[in-house]
Amino acid sequence: GAGVSQTPSNKVTEKGKYVELRCDPISGHTALYWYRQSLGQGPEFLIYFQGTGAADDSGLPNDRFFAVRPEGSVSTLKIQRTERGDSAVYLCASSFGGRNEQFFGPGTRLTVL
Amino acid sequence: GQQVMQIPQYQHVQEGEDFTTYCNSSTTLSNIQWYKQRPGGHPVFLIQLVKSGEVKKQKRLTFQFGEAKKNSSLHITATQTTDVGTYFCAADFNKFYFGSGTKLNVKP
């Protein structure tokens, strides 16, 4: 079956621009996570959805970051007024239930010039 | 905040040698997961440990969860070149905190 997919795979933008990153989880997975991974580091938690609601958004670094999951499936991570420090690989993962095996997507590599 | 320390940061071994990575927390964990990330790839789930003192094996990989549920280890016996990658622990503090990973390089 299809795994977690993320689009785009690469995004290059200019400082100050707005970007949207999309995640398509595995069908039937109720939990969805967004992480950010910088080179040489482990994934850094951003936000966790259980169904349509954000169960925990404490990892979002500031109010420029926002994520939605309106129908409990696809999720979009939105970043306003991008900064060079936002450059990283953004990973999405889904799981069946909140504390089970996480299936990761291939990630979106965001580069802010 | 919550933190997990993972050591060592790097490990270079000759093929056939053993490898161990350790994950430590200052607080008790409800469970811990282990992932492997190949160069250029994304994390792939290996195992989840839940019970105090739990030991699980997957072929040449042995995973342990400490009695106090504050530490965990992953041991690979007789490494192969296919084991190359970065191994992460992910601690459950109601959300998952990943360690910084141990990058394993295996020389053939």
> What pLDDT, on a 0 to 100 scale, did the predictor assign at position B95?
85
What pLDDT is recorded for position B93?
A: 83
Choose among A6, A7, A18: nearest CA to A83.
A18
Q: Is B73 on the interface with A (CB under 8 A)?
A: no
**Contact A99/B at CB under 8 A:** yes
> Is the pLDDT assigned to residue B1 strictly greater than 70?
no
Q: Do B96 and A102 touch (CB under 8 A)?
A: yes
Please check the confidence at residue A44 and state whether its pLDDT lies above 60.
yes
Higher pLDDT, B95 or A41: A41
Q: What's the farthest any 2 CA atoms get from each other in chain A?
A: 38
Question: Does the pLDDT of residue B7 top 90, yes or no?
Answer: yes
| pLDDT at residue A43 in the model | 97
Distance to chain A for B1, nearest Cα, Å = 11
Helices (H), A11-99: none
Residue A91 sits at the chain B interface (C-beta within 8 Å): yes
Does residue A106 sit at the B interface (CB-CB below 8 Å)? yes
Q: Is A57 on the interface with B (CB under 8 A)?
A: no
pLDDT at A55: 87
Token pair of B6 as six digits? 């993972």
Bridge partner list, B82: none
Task: Count CA within 13 A, CB hemisphere, residue A85.
Answer: 4
Enumerate the residues of chain A whose CB falls inside 8 A of the CB of residue B98: 35, 42-45
For residue A11, pLDDT beyond 60: yes
pLDDT in tens, A51-102: 999 889 999 999 999 999 999 999 999 999 999 999 999 999 999 987 889 9
For residues B46-50, give the mean pLDDT.
Answer: 97
Span A6-13, mean pLDDT? 98
Alpha-carbon distance B105 to B7, whole Å?
15
Q: Which two tokens stand for residue B9?
A: 């940061």
Q: What proportion of chain A, given as a percentage, has pLDDT over 70?
A: 99
Interface contacts (A, B; CB < 8 Å): 50
Cα–Cα separations (whole angstroms), residue B63 to A51, A99, B23, B33: 31, 18, 11, 10
Calculate Rg over the CA atoms of chain A.
Answer: 13
Q: Which of B6, B48, B96 sits opposite A45 (nearest CB)?
A: B96
